[in-house]
Structure 1
């Protein structure tokens, strides 16, 4: 049996991803990304083409555009076009609600600093989905910020609800009682 070797983090990584001294930096990034998601989601939720009587119409148009790019051999991979055509299009109304409300929830989670790492993960996941469909827009920068927020999950929500929620909920590898004891010190 080999002995475990623990390689310590460098000072920059420790500062950015584990120290509450960087929490103000993450607050700015978090609110910026959250605002982008929330405004996009509210626009979709309040419109008919996403969640109203015509739910699914906007996503059908989006998917048709992605399929056109795939047929031209541009920007969209064949496997993803297959997924869009055979899974998303037949269920456009359901996906429409999922996208619209997903954007709202990600935005709220990030702005409020509530389960920041999870909200950032799902935001980044949606960015990748949009990028795979050939839509660049603000998706690359939002994806980069979301990835950083996932890495900084321990401190990114320090100025937010995570400051109280994470010690209460605990982490998968640590019982909440142990986390609470560390927070009291």
Structure 2
């Protein structure tokens, strides 16, 4: 399946459709948060007060809860900017096929952060779709701006060029 995703034209088309759907969703989520006055304090406060619990009734991710309590909540202003801008940039990168694998990686990071905080919502679906994009590699963005951006970057910065095996 990986070979099909990475090398076939039909795999490229399937992953492009996945990419378009996911890019639209991330872009709309980020744009909505930017335009409607996003505030993460309630979400982070809720994740601190009611963390994800394990079967023994203890916090499943105490280190993450500690991070939220000691860093995220005191610096909520940063998160109120980074979260919506991050979602918008991830969405645009995935949608337009611009640095797609980097955008998808950061989408995975955000989805995992939401899951660790206890929000299920669309995050498992997004993660599954993001793993298809990551597995497809460069083939995921051949129908996109990476077709021109990646060769330009490789010419601009020689250390990005592929070595001949």
TM-score normalised by length of structure 2:
0.87
24-33 or 142-151, larger mean C-alpha shift: 142-151
19-28 or 103-112, larger mean C-alpha shift: 19-28
How many residue pairs match? The answer is 159
Question: Which residue in 2 is equivalent to 1:175?
Answer: 161
Higher relative contact order (CA 8 A, sep 6+): 2
Question: Which residue in 2 is equivalent to 1:55?
Answer: none
Cα–Cα, structure 1 residues 168 and 133, in superposed 2: closer, same or farther, change >3 Å? same
Structure 2: any 5+ residue segments left out of the alignment? Answer: none
TM-score normalised by length of structure 1:
0.78
1:27 corresponds, among 16, 19, 22, to 16
146-155 or 34-43, larger mean C-alpha shift: 146-155
Residue 100 of structure 1 deviates from its aligned partner by: 0.4
1:85 corresponds, among 69, 73, 76, to 69
Whose radius of gyration is greater, 1 or 2? 1
Structure 1: any 5+ residue segments left out of the alignment? Answer: 1-11, 51-57, 180-185
Cα–Cα, structure 1 residues 38 and 21, in superposed 2: closer, same or farther, change >3 Å? same
1:44 corresponds, among 13, 33, 40, to 33
1:65 corresponds, among 15, 33, 46, to 46
List aligned pairs for 1:155-170, cutoff 5 A. Answer: 155-170=139-154
2:82 corresponds, among 79, 98, 106, to 98
- 1:24-56, CA deviations, whole angstroms, 9 ceiling, x for partnerless residues? 1111100111111111100100022x2xxxxxx
Cα–Cα, structure 1 residues 172 and 44, in superposed 2: closer, same or farther, change >3 Å? farther
Question: Which residue in 2 is equivalent to 1:6?
Answer: none
C-alpha separation between the residues in 1 aligned to 2:13 and 2:19? 10
List aligned pairs for 1:85-164, cutoff 5 A. Answer: 85-164=69-148
Cα–Cα, structure 1 residues 172 and 33, in superposed 2: closer, same or farther, change >3 Å? farther
- 1:57-80, CA deviations, whole angstroms, 9 ceiling, x for partnerless residues? x21100111112129757752211
